[in-house]
Amino acid sequence: MSHRVTYTVNDGIATIAMDDGKANVLSTAMIEELNGAFDKAEADNAVVILTGREGMFSGGFDLKEMKAGPQDALELTSKGSKLARRMMAFPRPVIMVATGHTIAMGAFLALACDYRIIAEGDFKVGLNETMIGMTMHNFGIELGRYRLAKNYFNRCVINAEIFNPRDAVRAGFFDRTVPAEQLAMAGPMAGAMFKQLNETAFKNTKRRSRKEAFAILDQAIADDLDPAKIHAM
């Protein structure tokens, strides 16, 4: 595994950390490494903490890869959607500890986690797709509909409103904020709390409660790759 993603496990809690030295963009390579890390966490039967580097969780998809061509954009978007879908069905708890800016696909990964913590500070959180000229993909719309607060859905998905961490909690991207100096402790503390849940009961309840959502999201992933439906808008 390269420098983009690191994996460590301690006492049943795995930490998956992204750090590309810049915006932690979700390129094909980054997504492949994240999937590899989740493979390891599943093999280790570990609770997962997903985090970034100081000041930056993720700025979203790699725009260079997105602009390489229409098919490249479709395929990268699908890979990101499938990663988020995997996280939502992961058998153990997935906790996000956002170290800073959490934008676009980075914010969708927050929506896919079971518990979400973000550092307090001058950070931006939101879905900027319509701001930068991208029509929101079906998976993103449906994941937003499922996880965002109902009265924030239009503001987030259609209007591309960007929030500070505290307002991002109200919108539904995160569950709580913590002072930046306490962030390093917040993840392990949450992991220890989630380790107390019965593994089988958690896994079965998580998957059962999301059964209808998974059906909708799986159809959205298929629609996002269907040329007939893409051009029928």
- Given a contact cutoff of 8 angstroms between Cβ atoms, the answer to whether 35 and 61 are in contact is no
Highest mean pLDDT among 60-69, 200-209, 224-233: 200-209
Task: Please give the average per-residue pLDDT across 2-6, as a whole number.
Answer: 79
pLDDT, residue 98, reads 98
pLDDT, residue 1, reads 42
| Whole-angstrom distance, CA of residue 114 vs CA of residue 94 | 5
Q: Domains, the chain, ranges and CATH?
A: 5-181 (3.90.226.10)
* CA neighbor of 117 nearest in space, from 45, 191, 60: 191
What's the whole-number average pLDDT of the chain?
A: 95
Task: Please give the average per-residue pLDDT across 74-96, as a whole number.
Answer: 98
Angle ∠(196,202,205) on CA atoms, nearest 5: 155
* Tokens 């997105």 found at: 66
pLDDT in tens, 130-143: 999 999 999 999 99
pTM across the whole model: 0.95
Q: Would residue 104 be called left, alpha or beta, if left means φ above 0 and alpha means ψ between -120 and 50 degrees?
A: left
